[in-house]
């Protein structure tokens, strides 16, 4: 494929990415994210998958079987710990306005400039090789696509005739234009995150496209590939080699620390986080992404081995297979996928390294040389931009002179081994209050020395920069100091280097922390870090600072760096939260700490501390100062907890009172309803009686027949009133317990029959079809109860059934059956039924009278309430089932005498046997 086409398409892709990044950034700044930021955030984390993943995993799989997976299983395993570790880091960085790993470490260990510079230099040294392999992968893949094979590394091509050089310049410009525009390092880079998320999607889709092509077009699925591969290669995938357990373990450790501590991972996961809850999405999306991008690694590796000549480098299989099949479009797409994997990594790593170098090395060094003179916002910005070019040129030179001679994976792993050296200091900072500066420094220095000796020196020897005798005989002929076999140990290269460097690092960290004193300043920060959730909202109050500083000096310093508007806004915020900023022109510790945190957001904690120290007459903080503050803090915390508890108690009591009040209101309303209903029910007959009496009184000449009819109506109305009064009294007695039911042995079946007989004439007169279904043994069932009361219930229910039965083809079914414990009587009509929403209210007093949705029927509305009460007094239950417009069924369950007797006997036996 013509080189200019590849370059044009790559530039087009980068251009499109820049435009999208700009657009996404613009939208996000006005709060209108193109897609929810939690997804952008979750897809930003796969920046972890670089060209190493894209090309190197396949090469690694061909050579070492499943071992390539350790780089992804490690991060997968850390996912459950993210909520504990990463969330804490995010919170600390948010509160302390930290944006880089060296800032996180140096601030915790007494704002130490030494630690800040040391860790920054070590990180840059560890990561430059990693960036260089991205340049290598882009150049290699370009050469394969353009020329069909790698070109010899030619030093004559250095700089102006080299694609990698131009790429470095373009990426540097992108970072300067899109990222380093504002001085605030804690500002979120939405555009950059958007671009990285797009990169993640592109590289995933491209890799899967090649995978599907190899697995399902060139072969017939996974099984087909495995069936065709030679035994030796298959053996690497059938089981884990016995000796590889140790290497596997150390590789997991390396990748576990890498996912949390690599500068680019710190940048996207911690510095670019806008909401801790976004972690919850990333925690499952990221491992899913890793799973998808790894599914086709082995098929591509095996497919390449089966289809390509042995001379082809396995790192290039991903591209070589589509090229071999003359699928130029797929090859180009695959190239773009690899290109996006590499550029994404280069962009984010360069940003984070530039921030680290600028904040922790360049700016502090310049500040020292300025000796207290003011600095302006242009200084940190320029130093960052300078660092971007510096880093990319260093990476380019490393690629040209060293990285080009090694496989992608081995250089990547050396970088990982460098990053794990930060693990003791970082974990100690987050979880161990006694960890101190001496411990962190000793651990880092010793760890990196051993890392350099066991992992970097062998690489340098291989390149020919050091004599080979050092490798074989050890320094000065001391065999047990051989770089690849320290103390005579025989381990795989990476496991060996990681084991010894981490061992000495951890040992030095703990030993120095235990045997040396912690300063007051360190203790102060230790408390803030370890207990960050306790202090996160009020950290400025919880920092001890002793000294004297003039308000105007401090404000001027901050204004020079942050701008007048930003500082005025910050001072306003401070006043709203804490009150006055100074007294008699002198600021207090709280305002100094507040301003220092603001400055940290712009120039990093080390430079911010230097700036403050250069202007203030600072006194040494003693441990006792911190202890006094801690006591106050813990006392305040305890009081706060007590207050919270008491407030929750009060809230609970208030809720209970409200509930009781609500109940009383309901009862009051029920009483009002009851009175209103009863009086309303009585007023109707009274009005009728009064009217008829007046007619009779005013018309003495009225005919006898007419008079007799009126008197009959008066009598009916009086009966109705009497019935109502009787039922109200009855209900009241039943509810108050004033009425007791007789306890005689009765036959409900007999009572039911009598009730039916007494209503027979009514049933006949309404031409209702009566269906009686009585079980065989129901006539022998007896219960203990009150015959009259039960009859009252049965008559009430049957009368209701008659009243509500359908006017066309009315029928009523009365069933009576028994189970071992009770007699079950059900009365069914085919009337209009009860609406679902009224089912629970049907037994309420006067429900039918209150129900305004239907035509008012005859009756008092107390019948069902009284029936329910009577059945309950017989230890029975009554319930209703109904279907609207189809009828209702009332079911009564009355426990039999024999059942009650059996229960009582059983209870008595149990009681006596105790």
Q: Does 240 bind another protein (CB under 8 A)?
A: yes
Q: Does 254 bind another protein (CB under 8 A)?
A: no
Among 18, 150, 249, 432, binds another protein (CB under 8 A): 249
Kindly indicate which of the ranges 198-206, 220-228, 308-316, 541-549 contains the residues binding another protein, using the contact rule CB under 8 A. Answer: 220-228
Is residue 266 within 8 Å of 352, Cβ to Cβ?
yes
Kindly indicate which of the ranges 157-165, 218-226, 556-564, 880-888 contains the residues binding another protein, using the contact rule CB under 8 A. Answer: 218-226
List Cβ neighbours of 252 (8 Å cut-off, separation of 6 or more): 70, 73, 74, 77
In the complex with another protein, the residue whose CB is nearer, 84 or 627, is 84
Q: How far apart are CA 429 and CA 526, in angstroms?
A: 7
Q: Does 641 bind another protein (CB under 8 A)?
A: yes
Question: What minimum distance in Å lies between the beta carbon of 219 and another protein?
Answer: 12
Q: Does 216 bind another protein (CB under 8 A)?
A: no
Q: Which residues of 822-853 are buried (b: 16+ CB within 10 A; e: fewer)?
A: bbbbbbbbbbbbbeeebeeebbbbbbbbebee
Q: Does 796 bind another protein (CB under 8 A)?
A: no
Among 114, 161, 227, 743, binds another protein (CB under 8 A): 227
Among 248, 493, 504, 529, binds another protein (CB under 8 A): 248
Q: Does 809 bind another protein (CB under 8 A)?
A: no
Question: What is the CA 516 to chain-centroid distance, rounded?
Answer: 40
Which residues partner with 825 through β-bridges? 816, 892
β-pair type (811-818, 769-774): parallel
Classify the phi-psi angles of 474: left when phi > 0, otherwise alpha if psi is within -120 to 50, otherwise beta. left
Strand ordering across the sheet containing 769-774: 769-774, 811-818, 822-829, 887-895, 877-883
Kindly indicate which of the ranges 110-118, 230-238, 539-547, 702-710 contains the residues binding another protein, using the contact rule CB under 8 A. Answer: 230-238
Residue with tokens 């120039």: 603
- By CB under 8 A, what part of segment 117-136 binds another protein? none
List Cβ neighbours of 311 (8 Å cut-off, separation of 6 or more): none
Which residues partner with 618 through β-bridges? 547
Per DSSP, the residues of 844-859 read STTHHHH-TTSPPPSS
Q: How far apart are CA 35 and CA 582, in angstroms?
A: 45
Q: Does 223 bind another protein (CB under 8 A)?
A: yes
Q: How far apart are CA 180 and CA 174, in angstroms?
A: 9
Q: What phi and psi values does residue 583 have, to the nearest 5 degrees?
A: -135, 125
Q: Does 222 bind another protein (CB under 8 A)?
A: yes
Cα angle: 354, vertex 355, 361; to 5 degrees = 85
Among 291, 568, 657, 764, binds another protein (CB under 8 A): 291
Question: What minimum distance in Å lies between the beta carbon of 334 and another protein?
Answer: 23
Is residue 66 within 8 Å of 244, Cβ to Cβ?
no
Q: How far apart are CA 863 and CA 222, in angstroms?
A: 77
Q: Does 431 bind another protein (CB under 8 A)?
A: no
In the complex with another protein, the residue whose CB is nearer, 109 or 248, is 248
In the complex with another protein, the residue whose CB is nearer, 84 or 568, is 84
Kindly indicate which of the ranges 518-526, 559-567, 641-649, 823-831 contains the residues binding another protein, using the contact rule CB under 8 A. Answer: 641-649
- By CB under 8 A, what part of segment 435-454 binds another protein? none
Is residue 711 within 8 Å of 719, Cβ to Cβ?
no
Among 114, 230, 238, 662, binds another protein (CB under 8 A): 238
Question: What minimum distance in Å lies between the beta carbon of 304 and another protein?
Answer: 18
> Residue by residue, what is the 3-state secondary structure of 219-262?
CCCHHHHHHHCCHHHHHHHHCCCHHHHHHHHHHHHHHHHHHHHC
Q: Does 637 bind another protein (CB under 8 A)?
A: no
Kindly indicate which of the ranges 156-164, 239-247, 324-332, 803-811 contains the residues binding another protein, using the contact rule CB under 8 A. Answer: 239-247
- By CB under 8 A, what part of segment 56-85 binds another protein? 66, 69, 73, 76-81, 83-84
In the complex with another protein, the residue whose CB is nearer, 238 or 760, is 238
Binding mask 292-331 for another protein (x = CB under 8 A): ------x---------------------------------
Kindly indicate which of the ranges 126-134, 219-227, 412-420, 605-613 contains the residues binding another protein, using the contact rule CB under 8 A. Answer: 219-227
In the complex with another protein, the residue whose CB is nearer, 405 or 638, is 638
Q: Is 822 helix (H, G, I), strand (E, B) or coil?
A: strand
Question: What minimum distance in Å lies between the beta carbon of 70 and another protein?
Answer: 9
Give residues in contact with another protein (CB under 8 A).
Answer: 66, 69, 73, 76-81, 83-84, 222-223, 226-227, 234, 237-240, 242, 245, 248-249, 252, 280-281, 283-284, 287-288, 291, 298, 641-642, 645
């Amino acid at each position: 494929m013509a080189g200019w086409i590849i370059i044009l398409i790559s530039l087009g892709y980068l251009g499109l990415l820049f435009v999208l990044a700009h657009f996404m950034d613009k939208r996000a700044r006005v709060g209108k994210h193109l897609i929810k930021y939690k997804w952008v955030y979750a897809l930003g984390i796969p920046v972890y998958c670089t060209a190493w993943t894209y090309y190197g995993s396949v090469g690694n799989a061909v050579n070492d079987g499943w071992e390539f997976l350790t780089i992804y299983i490690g991060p997968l395993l850390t996912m459950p710990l993210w909520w504990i570790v990463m969330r804490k880091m995010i919170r600390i960085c948010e509160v302390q306005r930290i944006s880089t790993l060296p800032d996180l470490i140096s601030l915790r260990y007494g704002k130490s400039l030494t630690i800040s510079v040391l860790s920054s230099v070590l990180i840059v040294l560890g990561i430059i090789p990693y960036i260089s392999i991205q340049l290598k992968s882009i150049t290699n893949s370009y050469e394969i696509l353009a020329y069909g094979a790698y070109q010899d590394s030619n030093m004559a091509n250095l700089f102006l005739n080299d694609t990698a050089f131009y790429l470095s310049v373009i990426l540097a410009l992108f970072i300067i234009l899109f990222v380093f525009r504002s001085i605030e390092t804690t500002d979120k880079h939405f555009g950059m995150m958007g671009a990285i998320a797009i990169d993640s999607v592109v590289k995933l889709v491209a890799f899967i496209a090649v995978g599907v092509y190899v697995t399902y077009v060139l072969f017939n699925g996974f099984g087909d590939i495995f069936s065709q591969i030679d035994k030796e290669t298959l053996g690497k995938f059938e089981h884990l080699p016995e000796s590889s357990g140790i290497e596997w373990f150390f590789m997991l450790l390396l990748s576990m620390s890498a996912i949390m501590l690599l500068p680019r991972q710190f940048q996207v996961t911690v510095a670019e986080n806008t909401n801790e809850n976004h972690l919850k999405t990333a925690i499952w999306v990221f491992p899913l992404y890793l799973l998808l991008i790894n599914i086709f690694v082995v098929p591509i590796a095996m497919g390449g081995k089966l289809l390509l000549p042995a001379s082809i480098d396995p790192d290039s299989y991903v591209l070589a297979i589509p090229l071999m099949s003359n699928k130029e479009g797929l090859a180009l797409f695959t190239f773009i996928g690899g290109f996006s994997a590499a550029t994404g990594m280069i962009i984010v790593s360069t940003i984070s390294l530039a921030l680290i170098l600028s904040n922790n090395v360049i700016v502090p060094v310049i500040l020292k040389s300025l000796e207290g003179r003011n600095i302006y916002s242009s200084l940190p910005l320029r130093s960052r931009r300078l660092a971007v070019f510096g880093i990319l040129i260093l990476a380019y030179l490393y690629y040209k002179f060293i990285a080009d001679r090694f496989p992608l994976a081995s250089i990547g792993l050396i970088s990982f081994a460098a990053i794990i050296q930060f693990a003791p200091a970082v974990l100690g900072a987050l979880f161990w209050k006694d960890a101190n500066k001496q411990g962190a420094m000793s651990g880092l220095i010793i760890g990196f020395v051993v890392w350099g000796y066991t992992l970097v020196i062998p690489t340098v020897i291989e390149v020919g920069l050091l004599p080979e005798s050092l490798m074989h005989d050890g320094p000065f002929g001391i065999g047990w100091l051989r770089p690849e076999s320290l103390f005579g140990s025989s381990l795989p290269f990476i496991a060996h280097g990681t084991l010894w460097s981490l061992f000495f690092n951890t040992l030095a960290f703990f030993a120095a922390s235990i045997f040396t004193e912690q300063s007051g300043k360190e203790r102060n920060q230790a408390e803030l870090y370890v207990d960050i959730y306790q202090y996160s909202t009020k950290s400025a109050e919880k920092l001890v600072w002793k000294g004297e500083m003039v308000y105007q000096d401090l404000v001027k310093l901050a204004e020079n760096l942050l701008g007048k508007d930003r500082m005025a806004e910050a001072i306003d915020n401070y006043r709203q939260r804490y009150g006055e900023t100074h007294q008699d022109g002198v600021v207090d510790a709280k305002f100094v700490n507040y301003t220092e945190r603001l400055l940290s957001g712009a120039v990093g904690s080390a430079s911010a501390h230097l700036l403050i120290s250069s202007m203030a007459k600072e006194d040494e903080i003693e441990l006792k100062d911190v202890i006094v503050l801690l006591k106050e803090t813990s006392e305040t915390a305890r009081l706060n907890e007590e207050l919270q508890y008491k407030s929750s108690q009060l809230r609970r009591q208030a809720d209970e009172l409200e509930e009781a009040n609500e109940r009383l209101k309901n009862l009051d309303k029920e009483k009002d309803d009851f009175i209103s209903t009863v009086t309303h029910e009585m007023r109707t007959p009274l009005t009728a009686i009064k009217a008829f009496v007046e007619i009779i009184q005013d018309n003495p000449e009225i005919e006898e027949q007419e008079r007799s009819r009126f008197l009959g109506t008066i009598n009916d109305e009086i009966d109705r009133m009497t019935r109502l009064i009787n039922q109200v009294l009855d209900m009241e007695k039943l509810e108050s317990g004033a009425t007791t039911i007789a306890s005689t042995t009765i036959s409900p079946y007999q009572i039911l029959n009598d009730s039916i007989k007494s209503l027979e004439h009514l049933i006949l007169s309404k031409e209702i079809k009566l269906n009686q279904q009585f079980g065989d043994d129901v006539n022998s069932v007896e219960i203990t109860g009150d015959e009259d009361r039960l009859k009252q219930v049965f008559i009430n229910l049957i009368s209701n059934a008659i009243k509500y039965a359908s006017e066309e083809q009315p029928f009523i079914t009365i069933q009576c059956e028994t189970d071992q414990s009770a007699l079950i009587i059900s009365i069914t009509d085919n009337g209009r039924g009860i609406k679902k929403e009224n089912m629970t209210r049907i037994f309420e007093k006067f429900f039918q009278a209150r129900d305004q949705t239907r035509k008012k029927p005859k009756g008092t509305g107390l019948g069902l309430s009284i029936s329910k009460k009577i059945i309950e007094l017989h230890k029975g239950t009554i319930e209703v089932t109904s279907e609207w417009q189809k009828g209702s069924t009332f079911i009564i369950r009355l426990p039999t005498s024999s059942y009650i007797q059996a229960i009582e006997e059983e209870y008595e036996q149990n009681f006596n046997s105790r």
